[in-house]
Amino acid sequence: MSVAKHIELTADSSTSFEDAVKKGITKAGETVDNITAAWIQGQQALVENGKITTYRVQLKVTFVLK
Question: Domains of the chain: which residue ranges?
Answer: 4-64
- pLDDT on residue 1: 81
Name the CATH topology of 4-64.
Answer: Dodecin subunit-like (3.30.1660)
For residue 15, the SS3 value is: coil
Summarize the chain as % helix, strand, coil (round to 5): 20, 60, 25
Is pTM beyond 0.85? Reply is: yes
Which residues of the chain are modeled with pLDDT < 50?
A: none
